[in-house]
Amino acid sequence: MPGSDVYRQSDIQPKPQLMPCFQKEVQSYSSSGCIDEHLADPFKEDNMMNSSMSSLTSHEETTTKADDTNAGNGKATVLMSDQTGEELPSVSMNFFDASARQKETERFGEFLQCLSGNVDDHVESDIFGGTFFGEQHRELFSPQNIEYLQAAGGQHDKLGASFQIFPEFLQRDEAYKYSKESLGSLSKESVKEADQRHRGIRRHLHFGAAISCKHAGNGTYETANLCLPGRQTDFESLVPPHVETRGISGIWQARSCSQTATLWSSFSPSACESVKSAQNYGNRAVSACIPSGGDLHLNSFVRSESVGSEFSTSKKLGSNLHQQEEKLMSDRDHYLCKEIDGNPVLSFLGDIYSHLGYEQQESQAAAGAGSSSYQSSSIMQPPCDSLHLIPYEQQASLCKGTMPSSEYADIVELNQMSPERNRKKAKYIIKSEGCRRCNCKKSRCLKLYCECFAAGIYCLDTCSCVNCINKPEYEDTVLDMRQQTEARNPLAFAPKVINNATNSPANMMEEGKWMKTSSSRHKKGCNCKKSKCSKKYCECFQGGVGCCNGCRCEGCYNPYGNKTDLYSELSESLEREQLLSLATSSKPEISISSQTNYRRAERWNNPSQEQLDTLESHNDCIKAERPNQFSSTWEELADIGHLTPPSRCLLGAVASSGSLNIRDCSKKFLGQSQQESSVLSPSGYLNWHHSPSSLTPKLYGCEALPELSSDRFFCNMMEDATPETLKNTCTPSTEGVKSCSPNQKWVSPPKIRSHELRSSSSQGLRSGCKFILQDLPSFPPLTPYSKSQAAIHQNDGDHKGSNGYQ
């Protein structure tokens, strides 16, 4: 089966993952996608990059090298590229010597402490690595370090092994310290070169994430190896080798795009702790990757796994290595749901695991609820607090509908962890809010009609679908159809409900419940005509969010919030502004949010009437725009601004523009901010780092950015970030509108070139304009398979006759 061999490369190996060096892996990974962007400049020989890349190399090669080394006896050796060939003292660490471990642990603790306390304000906005080290820690990448690492590579033939027991940064730290002892002064030339390499390293720090994406794009699974210390390779073992591609491919691939630490953290208290730890260690880049979306899309969910692994890595490395083994077991208990037939399974992989080839029937049946949990909670239903685990037997009863939903709404903590819990063959599966599965008759579960397909999961035997193709055995076909679907709509697999990032993940977690925020909105808006948005026909209602002006619904009575309320709010808001303006007609002291309106009004001879007109025109423009709203997929993104109710200042802007479409205004604004602050996720998907205070202050060094309500936030955005641009350009002129069209430069398709955005990311840091499109999916990378088309054709032939599938 395609992909199997690839996945095999990261087969679980209980021994420390060895890291082959010296390959010029860069090129091999730079054929496409985000990796390219990280290798855009000439420092491709970056040792660290090679190190990182090497972690992704084939297992065979790794094994071969491992065989040649002393890694097996617990002594790991730092190896770098063999560029110099000079004789240099070997760098080795005996990780299994107690005193040595203690020493290393202490040093590492200091290192981490240093990181956490001194990350400077020059943190880059790049995902992951770029933000990990502040300027003050560049010493870690000192020329000596780099030079040494470079030189040390010459020893590879003798040392013959590499280590990955510590994460990359620790390797650097170690190497640096060793280098300080081993090396004397260096020539300026070396320093200069090393500085360039430093840059390469920094880029490499992004690379970890980028690689994930890249490999996801290749449909490979090496990510499991990425940057994990040796013990962390245990994570790999959480998915048994036999998993192969049976049923997990698309989902599993998606996990690689490590963007959503939040999701990870939301699933496991320990993971939360890990996140905190990682952040405390200075990894503010983590924040950059943390969406605050309340919707659990499996793509994001799974995607976060690797992040979690890295977090856990940091966390664990911060602990005493003496206790590492125990701690690993302890931590692992957090991450593991249970063993299934002796195979440990990450709690969040339950659904994936459900598709395992062996005992598939049982697993799938068990996972039915888990999958539907994902469906119901991540797509439309209030998301499950986490993918909690319940015993298989109970799940079975759930799937049979014999258990009241209220019962499985809570975490089932049965069979509390016994000392041998990891050895027991208790069959735990993901808890679910229900076991609803699809019931497709004609779509063969290969279209978005199918909830399973839309959710990015395979159908299970618990589904009632007919002629289902959405099964692991039709993996290629499924992937192909996913590709087609994504081609039609890149957001097809995105969560339908998007949370405004105003609410930090922590804020959204309340007693383990994933809270939807008041600013959550349907990504596209509904189009209800008869249901009045008060039935589950309405996706907004179903998603538990209010309708916004992005919706084209009629007679909206969405109990979660309807457009009528929105317009009322706007009107009231404007009226308040009017009153305020009139009351302070000379030199009023008005709120910041009112200043724009006031400035506008000040120029008007008859401000009251003008503003009234403005309101009318505003409402007209909203009405007028409805039919076309969200007409294009990426326009949906552009309209995220609508997820936040337009505010007073927006009205002010509108007022200034006369007939300017409010949507265009927000687009313009977003366009501006997007240009400034968009950051590309490592996956190449766009992360809208318009995230407000929840994440940005830490990430971007924006001190004390106040927590803003959504409308206030939007208002402030209008005031603070774009006034000049917006005020000056937000005119009815076609040109102005065009310039901010989402179809123009600031809205890019998902696979945008990262460096283009990254180069301007620093500006974005200053913009303070933050929105996050939550959980942009890194859905299965949709690697084209030649077989796929043939498969689907074959399937067509197989099924057309029977069901007349179109």
Partner DNA sequence: GAGTTTGAAACT
Partner DNA sequence: CAGTTTCAAACTC
Residues at the interface with DNA (CB under 7 A): 380, 436, 438-445, 447-451, 454, 485, 488-489, 492, 496, 524, 526-532, 535-539, 542, 627-628, 631-632, 805-806
Instruction: For residue 657, count CB atoms less than 10 angstroms from its CB and return exposed for 0-12, middle for 13-18, buried for 19 or more.
Output: buried
Closest CB to DNA among 22 and 537?
Answer: 537
Q: What is the DSSP string of 517-560?
A: PTT-EESS----SSSTT-STTSHHHHTT----TT---SS---TT
Closer to DNA by Cβ: residue 112 or 440:
440
Q: Nearer Cβ to DNA, position 419 or 627?
A: 627
* Closest distance of CB 180 from DNA, Å: 58
Nearer to DNA, 23 or 527 (CB): 527
The string of DSSP letters for 435-450 reads ------SSSTT-STTS
Instruction: Pull the structure tokens for residue 631.
Output: 């007409």
Residues 6+ positions from 53 with CB-CB distance below 8 Å: 23, 25, 26, 29, 207, 211
In a 10 Å sphere around its CB, with 0-12 CB exposed, 13-18 middle and 19+ buried, how is residue 33 labelled? buried
- At closest approach, how far in Å is the CB of 396 from DNA? 18
Q: How far apart are the first and last CA of the chain?
A: 27
Task: Answer whether 260's CB lies under 8 Å from 291's CB.
Answer: yes
Query: What gap in Å lies between CA 508 and CA 500, rounded to an integer?
Result: 11
Least Å from the CB of residue 278 to DNA: 35
Q: Name the minimum Å distance from CB 642 to DNA.
A: 15
Shortest distance in whole angstroms from residue 489 CB to DNA: 6
Q: Which amino acid is at 604?
A: W
**How far is 300 from 264, CA to CA, in rounded Å?**
9
The pair phi, psi for residue 246, each rounded to 5°, is: -70, 95
Q: How far is the CB of 245 from DNA (least distance, A)?
A: 23
Which of residues 485 and 611 has its CB atom nearest to DNA in the complex? Answer: 485
Q: How far is the CB of 401 from DNA (least distance, A)?
A: 10
Is the Cβ of residue 215 or residue 516 nearer to DNA in the bound state? 516
Q: Which is nearer to DNA, 487 or 592 (CB)?
A: 487
Structure tokens at 795: 């399937």
Distance CA 777, CA 637 (A): 13
Amino acid at site 226: L
Query: Cβ distance 179 to 147 under 8 Å?
Result: yes
Work out how close the CB of 377 gets to DNA at its nearest, in angstroms, rounded to a whole number: 12
For DNA, give the closer residue by CB, 223 or 372. Answer: 372
Residue placing its CB nearer to DNA in the complex, 113 or 489: 489
Task: Report in angstroms how near the CB of residue 165 gets to DNA at its nearest.
Answer: 46
Please state, in angstroms and rounded to a whole number, the distance separating the CA atoms of residues 770 and 365: 42
Q: CB nearer to DNA: give 369 or 679.
A: 369
CA distance 302 to 282: 24
Comparing CA positions, the residue from 234, 263, 461 lying closest to residue 325 is 234
Rounded to an integer, what distance in angstroms lies between the CA atom of residue 752 and that of residue 776? 13
Q: CB-wise, 338 or 626, nearer to DNA?
A: 626
Q: Which is nearer to DNA, 439 or 759 (CB)?
A: 439
* Residue 131 CB, nearest approach to DNA (Å): 35
Shortest distance (Å) from residue 797 CB to DNA: 16
| Rounded least distance, CB 218 to DNA, Å | 25
| Dihedral in degrees, nearest 10, Cα atoms 365, 366, 372, 378 | -150
Q: What is the 3-state secondary structure (H, E, C) of 369-431?
A: HHHHHHHHHHHHCCCCCCCCEEEHHHHHHHHCCCCCCCCCCCCCCCCCCCCCCCCCCCCEEEC
Contact 580, 586 (CB under 8 A): no
Is 276 within 8 Å of 283 (Cβ atoms)? no
Residue with token string 């962890």: 417
Question: Among residues 231 and 524, whose Cβ is nearest to DNA?
Answer: 524
| Integer Cα distance of 127 and 37 in angstroms | 13
Q: How far is the CB of 445 from DNA (least distance, A)?
A: 7
The two three-digit tokens of residue 49, written as one number = 């990059």
Which backbone phi and psi does 797 adopt, to 5 degrees?
Answer: -65, -35
Q: How far is the CB of 449 from DNA (least distance, A)?
A: 3
Pairing status of strand 389-391 against strand 343-346: unpaired
Tokens of 285: 């880049």
Nearest CB to DNA, comparing residues 440 and 662: 440
Report the distance separating Cα 374 and Cα 384, nearest Å: 8
